[in-house]
Amino acid sequence: MRPNFESRIYMPYRYLEDVAIADAAFEAWGGSLEEMLMSASDATMNIMVSDLSSVRPMQYRHLRIKENHIDMLLFQLLQELIYYKDAEQLLLLIRSIRVEQHDTDWSAFVEVAGETIDPERHDLVVDIKAVTLHNFSAVQTAQGWKATVIVDV
Amino acid sequence: MSIPPFLQRISDTVWEIPTSYKHGMRVPARIFATAKLLQEMDAGVFDQVTNVAMLPGIIHYAYCMPDGHWGYGFPIGGVAVMDPDHGVISPGGIGFDINCGMRLILTNLTYEEVKPRVRELVDRLFARVPAGVGTSGFINIKQDEFRRMVEKGARWCVKNHFGTEEDLKNTEEEGCTPGADASKVSQKAVERGYRQIGTLGSGNHYLEIQIAKPENVFNRELAEAFGITIPNQVLLMFHCGSRGFGHQIATDYLQIFLKAMTSKYGITVPDRELACAPFRSPEGQDYFAAMKCAINMSFANRQVILHRIREVFADVFHRDPQDMGMRQVYDVAHNTAKLERHRIDGEWKNVLVHRKGATRAFGPGMEGIPEAYMKAGQPVIIGGSMESGSYLLAGVETGHSAFFSTAHGSGRTMSRAQAKKKFRGRELQQQMEARGNYVRTASYSGLAEEAGAAYKNIDDVVDAAERAGLSKRVVRLVPIGNVKG
């Protein structure tokens, strides 16, 4: 089953306390590639806003991301969320996601939804500048998929 | 942690890792630090500075400043000087926040005059200088005008009545690095940045009201040269950078360099964040021109924030900012790559100097510092934690040992996640207020992350920089009011 917002019961991720002391680091998992991408996106947004449930689905965007490596697909997805945070002052969460592979190309079709940043309603934490490539990985495991990400804050 | 055995002591404050340490090192690594600071440095610093030593065209040493800590590609506090004709440029040697930097402003007000109005000043500054996640600024310009602004830097601001010519004279590069080319910047970078002029950002970015207590003046002659002449004089210091604009430029070119580095130029690096291209290559020159746009945008950002600070002080004290002596001491950049002229092996040469989390610190008489500071040396601003205070220093002649570079801050000792677990933002705010430092923050979680205990001791860092001959202390500045993102 492809994951969507309603099926997001528990998307696992954890922050790595002893890594990247000046910034933020996390691991995110999923049984499927899509679940991992959704989990990593949540982990990224959760660095900036402490309660993801406070982000209402008031505006939608549809993203199409194409890369020839899975890790760069993840990289571009997370960078898109950071882009919208600055370019449109939007906090966005994934509503649904589908990944397709054609030959060596990977494509992600993503519906995101969220709302304009509101300091009165959103408990904002710290701004993310960029996703770094330091120790950056998205790998398949026996349980599914795992991402390791460090972001510059 | 004890001092690693591979570090060779050159002096009390200079340590070297020889080229035999790691295959591929073209030069040794040199770390400026006391034994105490060295013992506190994370292992990532040694790994990264020796990786930097592998970059093609690197001259003399890969350097690390006393506040060094683990970064991306380069360590924070990393300095690398390259032959521009045979060497590379690496975005990792500048960082994502291009021209993150510091600005210091004088007033002729004393603590006694300001103390009754500190809360009002900080509250108004908090309201009028946007800080925090994804904030937009108070300058309303279209994207085309933004592209013109990033080529002109702070000059654009002065032309549009957001500052004075004197502000420009007392800014590194006079607020505008020549050679910026907005056509080398992506549309995404423009879209991320054009609404962010006049914003602080978050994390370790801040705006502080500070005082220069008489007992904290280390060098009276230099203090007077920099305009600090009154006991308990009030100054303002703020720290911010090129916002989403610079961050996107760094991200864009990191990916461009990753694609071209090996396939086109046959360069391999041990860390993707050290991706680089020959400086004279099309990719290298495009990045250099785009990076300069970000440098200029950051100078413009700090210039309009200064304008807003002057407005707030004028509103609160009902006096003209000029009448209150609100002049700029200096503005320094931390994350840059610049072509500079240095004496190398007896000859003057143009070289490319990467400084990442490191401050330029030109000595007395050097071209490029304001005429008024020729005898004193370039002012250097090194920020401490929000609880410890900061320093104003001066560049010195012996700074040639690190191409006139010095530290930029305290450096962290505790991760953000650990600090958030250990400290509570509201408690910290109350404790700081009880100690006479009134803080307003856009995020209490963010405030907890910035607890003073999460940082190295700034006094140790500055002491090491002075003993290493990189810069010398002028005044220690104590915060009494703070706006945090």
Tell me: ipTM over 0.90. Answer: yes
Indicate whether B193 pLDDT > 90: yes
**Residue B470's pLDDT band (cuts 50, 70, 90):** very high
For A17, the closest of B247, B251, B417 (CB atoms) is B417
For A87, the closest of B191, B446, B485 (CB atoms) is B191
**If you ran DSSP here, which 8-state letter would residue B419 be given?**
H
Pairing of strands B328-333, B101-110: antiparallel
For B414, the closest of A21, A126, A127 (CB atoms) is A21
**Residue B415's pLDDT band (cuts 50, 70, 90):** confident
Indicate whether B21 pLDDT > 70: yes
Indicate whether A8 pLDDT > 80: no
Indicate whether B138 pLDDT > 90: no
Indicate whether A121 pLDDT > 70: yes
Convert the pLDDT of each residue in A22-51 to its tens digit. 789 999 999 999 999 999 999 999 999 999
Kindly determine whether residue A134 and residue B254, on different chains, have CB atoms separated by under 8 Å. Answer: no
B408 assigned to active site: yes
Convert the pLDDT of each residue in B314-327 to its tens digit. 999 999 999 999 99
What integer pLDDT is reported at residue B253 of this predicted model? Answer: 97
Question: What's chain B's length in residues?
Answer: 485
What integer pLDDT is reported at residue A7 of this predicted model? Answer: 54
Chain A contact for B71 (CB, 8 A cutoff): yes
B337, containing H or E segment: strand B336-344
Kindly determine whether residue A119 and residue B442, on different chains, have CB atoms separated by under 8 Å. Answer: yes
Q: Are B402 and B355 in contact (CB under 8 A)?
A: no
CA separation for the pair A32, B213 (Å, rounded): 61
Kindly determine whether residue B416 and residue A24, on different chains, have CB atoms separated by under 8 Å. Answer: yes
What percentage of chain A carries pLDDT values higher than 90?
Answer: 88
Other CB atoms within 10 A of residue B435 CB: 11
Convert the pLDDT of each residue in A107-118 to its tens digit. 999 999 999 999
Instruction: State mean pLDDT over A66-89.
Output: 97
Instruction: State mean pLDDT over B218-244.
Output: 98
**Residue A19's pLDDT band (cuts 50, 70, 90):** confident
Nearest residue of chain A to residue B97 (CA atoms): A129
Q: Are B306 and B321 in contact (CB under 8 A)?
A: no
Token couple for B282: 């099309």
Calculate how close chain A gets to B96, using CA atoms only, in Å: 7
Kindly determine whether residue A87 and residue B254, on different chains, have CB atoms separated by under 8 Å. Answer: no
Closest CA to B199 of B236, B158, B244: B244
Kindly determine whether residue A21 and residue B136, on different chains, have CB atoms separated by under 8 Å. Answer: no
Indicate whether A4 pLDDT > 80: no
The region that residue A30 occupies, defined by phi over 0 for left and psi between -120 and 50 for alpha, beta otherwise, is beta
CA separation for the pair B218, B393 (Å, rounded): 9
What integer pLDDT is reported at residue B203 of this predicted model? Answer: 87
Indicate whether A6 pLDDT > 70: no
What integer pLDDT is reported at residue A23 of this predicted model? Answer: 85
Contacts of B297 (CB under 8 A, 6+ apart): B99, B149, B150, B153, B193, B197, B242, B243, B245, B246
For B192, the closest of A20, A83, A133 (CB atoms) is A83
Instruction: State mean pLDDT over B51-61.
Output: 98
A-facing residues of B in 337-396 (CB < 8 A) are: none
Kindly determine whether residue A21 and residue B442, on different chains, have CB atoms separated by under 8 Å. Answer: no
Calculate how close chain B gets to A10, using CA atoms only, in Å: 21
What integer pLDDT is reported at residue B217 of this predicted model? Answer: 98
Convert the pLDDT of each residue in B273-284 to its tens digit. 999 999 999 999
Calculate how close chain A gets to B207, using CA atoms only, in Å: 16
Convert the pLDDT of each residue in B243-269 to its tens digit. 999 999 999 999 999 999 999 999 999
Calculate the average pLDDT of chain B: 96
Kindly determine whether residue A83 and residue B248, on different chains, have CB atoms separated by under 8 Å. Answer: yes
CA separation for the pair B412, A23 (Å, rounded): 10
What integer pLDDT is reported at residue A1 of this predicted model? Answer: 43
Instruction: State mean pLDDT over B103-127.
Output: 98
For chain A, domain boundaries: 24-70+78-152
Q: Give whole-number Cα distances, B108 to B143, B324, B332, B441, B473, in Å.
A: 38, 5, 22, 27, 22
Instruction: State mean pLDDT over A2-23.
Output: 72
At CA B55, angle to CA B285 and CA A70, rounded to 5? 80
Indicate whether A140 pLDDT > 60: yes
Instruction: State mean pLDDT over B4-12.
Output: 96
Chain A contact for B67 (CB, 8 A cutoff): no
Chain A contact for B442 (CB, 8 A cutoff): yes
Instruction: State mean pLDDT over A103-132.
Output: 95
What integer pLDDT is reported at residue B485 of this predicted model? Answer: 82
The larger pLDDT score, comparing residue B285 to residue B446, is at B285
CATH fold of A24-70+78-152, please? Archease, Possible Chaperone; Chain: A; domain 1 (3.55.10)
